[in-house]
């Protein structure tokens, strides 16, 4: 079995998110990291490889992103992927979610995986959408929020997290599975794995290498456009009740809640 894991380089969680008013896009400058949700997808691939129920020949990490995104691939291979592919091209800059999914699908088409794994969401765009877009292009079944996964022959038996518990769903392989963060506890890379990551094969590809139609990617090929950005409406200042006499304070709080019909 060949598994491809989609991984994304995102601004570090500690960096304050800011929209660039000029481009109306997220300012992605500053410290970056491997999208934390994608570490669960890599771990899920590793557990299939180590589990023994199926023979996994290779795990390939795939990203689309600017030049710096190779660092996310180094992290992915230090967590266990055997090799990685970096799709990078100026023509891809400004791609929206549909264009990004199309471009990633073109790389996957060339790779021909039995299973595509990805995180539930990116830590920056948070569209929760790439899995469905990629699956649509590849004409593969797609599941989201998968928290348990077992290979049974040419099928995958999955548990999907739902509001009321979970659904058990069986899909035929090849399939595109986006994993929930409850699926596993990602491992930490060993020092040896971090040092060895740079030696694992990294293939850099341009849009033309995977047959991407330039008219379907980039800002001009994207079907969505950000028309305006507005700050969230300002909230009224809260009421602060100083606790000088506790009985009086409790009475004030209860009255405040009753006035708003918040007490049953
Ligand atoms: C008009 C417009 C212009 C944009 N321009 C840019 C831009 O110039 N640069 C930019 O970075 N973003 C840009 N974006 C955002 C970009 O399109 C989204 O980040 C991208 O479509 C993926 O959506 P998401 O990150 O919310 O992914 P989600 O659907 O939330 O991610 C789910 C999973 O998909 C996988 N994934 C997501 N993105 C990638 C990727 N690139 N490579 C590999 N795996 C991935 C990961 O496994 C992730 O966990 C733009 C968006 C719009 C609307």
Give distance in angstroms: CA of 102 to centre of ligand 1: 11
Of the ranges 29-33, 47-51, 167-171, which one carries the lowest mean pLDDT score? 29-33
Q: Say if ligand 1 is within 6 A of residue 7 CB.
A: yes
Name the average pLDDT for the chain.
95
The DSSP symbol for 110 reads H
Evaluate whether residue 258 is within a structural domain. no
Residue 5 pairs in a beta bridge with 61, 117
Q: Say if ligand 1 is within 6 A of residue 69 CB.
A: no
User: Which of the listed residues 32, 100, 128 should we mutate to test ligand 1's pocket, taking the one with most ligand atoms within 8 A of CB?
Assistant: 100
Evaluate whether residue 145 is within a structural domain. yes
Evaluate whether residue 39 is within a structural domain. yes
CA distance 114 to 177: 11
Evaluate whether residue 183 is within a structural domain. yes
For the cut 80, the answer to whether the pLDDT of residue 264 exceeds it is no
CATH number, residue 113: 3.40.50.620
Evaluate whether residue 11 is within a structural domain. yes
Instruction: Quickly count: other Cβ atoms within 10 Å of residue 226's Cβ.
Output: 11
User: Which of the listed residues 59, 79, 125, 204 should we mutate to test ligand 1's pocket, taking the one with most ligand atoms within 8 A of CB?
Assistant: 125
Give distance in angstroms: CA of 97 to centre of ligand 1: 6
pLDDT at 15: 86
Evaluate whether residue 234 is within a structural domain. no
DSSP string, 136-180: HHHT--EEEEEEEEEEETTEEEEEEEETTEEEEEEEESSEEEEEP
Evaluate whether residue 263 is within a structural domain. no
Evaluate whether residue 247 is within a structural domain. no
Ligand 1 atom showing the smallest separation from residue 87 Cα: 42
For the cut 90, the answer to whether the pLDDT of residue 128 exceeds it is yes
Q: How confident is the model at residue 27 (pLDDT cuts 50, 70, 90)?
A: confident
| Strand order, beta sheet including 83-87 | 165-172, 155-162, 142-152, 175-179, 115-119, 2-6, 58-64, 83-87, 202-205
Ligand 1 atom showing the smallest separation from residue 92 Cα: 8
What is the total count of domains within the chain? Answer: 1
Enclosing domain of residue 38: 2-221
């Amino acid at each position: 079995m060949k598994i491809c894991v989609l991984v994304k380089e995102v601004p570090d969680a500690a960096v304050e998110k800011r929209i660039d008013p000029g481009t109306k896009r997220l300012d992605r400058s500053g410290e970056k990291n491997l999208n934390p949700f994608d570490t669960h997808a890599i771990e899920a691939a590793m557990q299939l490889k180590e589990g023994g129920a199926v023979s996994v020949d290779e795990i390939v990490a795939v990203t689309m992103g600017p030049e710096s995104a190779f660092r996310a691939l180094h992290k992915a291979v230090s967590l266990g992927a055997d090799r990685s592919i970096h799709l990078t091209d100026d023509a891809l800059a400004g791609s929206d979610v549909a264009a990004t999914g199309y471009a990633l699908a073109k790389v996957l088409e060339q790779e021909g995986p039995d299973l595509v794994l990805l995180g539930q969401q990116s830590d920056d765009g948070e569209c929760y959408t790439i899995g469905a877009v990629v699956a649509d292009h590849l004409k593969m079944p797609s599941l989201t929020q998968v928290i348990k996964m077992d290979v049974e022959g040419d099928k995958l038996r999955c548990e999907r997290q739902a509001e009321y518990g979970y659904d058990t769903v069986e899909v035929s392989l090849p399939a595109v599975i986006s994993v929930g963060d409850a699926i596993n506890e990602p491992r930490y890379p060993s020092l040896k794995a971090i040092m060895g990551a740079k030696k694992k094969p990294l293939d850099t590809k341009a849009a033309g290498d995977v047959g991407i139609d330039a008219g379907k990617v980039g800002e001009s090929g994207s079907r969505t456009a950000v028309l305006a950005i507005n700050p969230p409406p300002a909230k009224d200042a809260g009421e602060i009740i100083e606790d000088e006499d506790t009985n009086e304070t409790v009475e004030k709080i209860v009255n405040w809640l009753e006035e708003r019909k918040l007490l049953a």
